[in-house]
A and B are shown apart, each in its own frame.
Chain A
């Protein structure tokens, strides 16, 4: 059943109480990153809280999303380069099929955990209403930065380097 969670202008006033209660909280830098625990594509459990103390890059992606796929080799390289310094990439695939995500992860030689996302997890992260979305999380578990859309990897890399410094 459909449930109204956001309406425009005048109607918003009429439905304010109900609508506001259901609006996913939009995440912003400074907020604590939502935790989740899901099986990874390799079957091993992935729990975000277990990585607290590391600099985490959460990457929402899909196998059919060109900017997502173009960025992954960069994330893979950073994982190799900086994993020993407390850097961790976590992928969340918004593919419909885990087979598609798994096949893409193999082809792209992904070297970090990937879990399957869904609408519920998307809403916990403030709504993943377009791809890609990357969130950089500091060692204290707080979000440092959020990028949506076609972000140059160099922009993300600069922020990762700063977080690791």
Chain B
């Protein structure tokens, strides 16, 4: 049953728990970095969110929850030096319910990326990024 693993997810540790606090970047910090030389930014959530609004320069890398998405993510970054600054974000759901960020973070760490940050979006991309007035573009 589909509901079983999802319901089980409500009582077990959140998938985002694999991301250490030191690897988190707050929206205000990333927005400030956008004024200088921004890091490589990868959206690992759902495509219909990306099409409506995403951070300028961010690439849609595929959903971290699926094998196909992780394969796409790895393809997007495999040519990058392992010390390249990377930021992943999603914002599909409240942070502790996100099915994408933990798996994407784990995959990129396993590839050896040393300057990997995860954008901490507490509730969703709309409330925590767009509504705050941070830069956004739309389109595929």
Q: What secondary structure prevails in chain B residues at the interface with A?
A: loop
Q: What secondary structure prevails in chain A residues at the interface with B?
A: loop
Instruction: State the interface size on chain B (CB cutoff 8 A).
Output: 37
A122: which B residues are within 8 A, CB to CB?
Answer: 48, 52
Contact B53 A129 (CB under 8 A): yes
- Residue in B31, B56, B94, B125 whose beta carbon sits within 8 Å of that of A67 in the complex: B94
Contact A130 B139 (CB under 8 A): no
- Residue in A67, A103, A108, A119 whose beta carbon sits within 8 Å of that of B52 in the complex: A119
Instruction: State the interface size on chain A (CB cutoff 8 A).
Output: 42
Expressed in whole angstroms, the minimum distance between the Cβ of B130 and any Cβ of chain A is 6
Query: At the interface with chain A, which of B4-12, B17-25, B76-84, B111-119?
Result: B4-12
> A94's closest neighbor in chain B, by CB?
B48
- What number of A-B contacts does a CB cutoff of 8 Å give? 128
Give a binary string over A101-138; 1 marks a CB under 8 Å from any B CB, 0 the rest.
00110011000000001110011000111111000000
Contact A127 B133 (CB under 8 A): no
Verify if B49 is at the interface (C-beta below 8 Å from A).
yes
Interface residues of A (CB under 8 A from B): 1-9, 11-12, 24, 62-67, 69-70, 73, 94-96, 103-104, 107-108, 117-119, 122-123, 127-132, 148-150
